Structure 1
Amino acid sequence: MAQPPYDPYGYGSQDPYAQYQAQPAVQHHHYGPPSAPPTNGMATASMVCGLIGIVFCGFTSILAIIFGHVAQSQIRRTREGGSGMATAGLVMGYIVTAIWGLVWLLYFIGVIALAGAGAGSTY
């Protein structure tokens, strides 16, 4: 047998504080927008290596190309985010590699030309 609610002062149904009793919490089901897929780490690495390839004489831009291709294949397979970063890393990697390749080629041609000019001259 259940006991009646505790009423220490004997107010009964005339309790002046009855309106302030805790009401059950109302649950609102407001769902936010769907969460974005995680970003592929290789895409991030590709973009960073492409950016710093300018400073490091193009050596890291080769890594940007490799990471970019790997990231694009992983993104197609796993549906992760970061496709734009992978593409940006690839573009920067190819551009910086071409520029630094041209710089290194002109440098070695200049060194060979100076060495040839110095060997043929007599003092």
Structure 2
Amino acid sequence: MTYPQDPYGQQQPYGQQPPYGQQPPYGQPYPPPGYGYGPAMPPQDQGLAIAALIVSIASLVVCSGLPSLIGVIMGHIAHAKAKRGEAGGQGMALAAIIIGYLGVAIIVGLVLLFVIVGIATEWDFD
């Protein structure tokens, strides 16, 4: 017995599509060879998300508030574009937002710490 066979007992040549109305035998790829899956999707632009992540991480390294704010703004823009399907990198944009807000919180905390220490020790700025 040979496999695959058509209903009349004749063996199908390998790689050819079975006659109209019949299912391809098990083990053959779908779609049949020669048909393909269509053109590939073009890669989505992730540049803004990458830049936002780099700026947010750099703001933590240099411990500066302005780059943190820039990273947060860029991250929000990149995340919105990714959600609309205009760009890729939704995860990177979300990471940039989180890291940027963390940097802003660190700067605000340090400023509050300096103000509290200044008030507690009665610094004189004369």
Q: Into which bin does the TM-score normalised by the smaller protein fall?
A: 0.5 to 0.7
Partner SS for 2:104: helix
Q: Which of these residues, 117, 121, 125, is aligned with residue 110 of structure 1?
A: 117
Alpha carbons 2:53, 2:93 under 8 Å: kept: yes
Q: Which residue of 1 aligns with 2:47?
A: 41
Displacement over 4 Å in runs of 4+? 28-31
Q: 1:117 to 1:46 in 2, by over 3 A?
A: closer
- Give the letter aligned to residue 68 of structure 1: G
Q: Aligned match of 2:87 in 74, 80, 96? A: 80
1:51 is aligned to 57
Unaligned runs of 5+ in 2: 1-33
> Would the alpha carbon gap of residues 36 and 107 (structure 1) be closer, same or farther in structure 2, given more than 3 Å must change?
farther
Relative to total residues, which structure has the larger helix share, 1 or 2? 1
User: Under a length normalisation based on structure 2, what TM-score does the superposition of the two structures give?
Assistant: 0.57
Q: Distance in 2 between matches of 1:44 and 1:71?
A: 9
**Identity over aligned pairs, percent:** 32
Aligned CA RMSD, in angstroms, stands at 2.8
Aligned to 2:74: 67
Q: How many equivalent pairs are there?
A: 91
In the TM superposition, what is the alpha-carbon distance from 1:51 to its structure 2 partner? 0.4
CA shift in 2, pair 1:38/1:107, >3 Å: same
Bigger CA radius of gyration: 1
1:84 maps to a residue whose letter is: G
- Matched residue SS, 2:102: helix
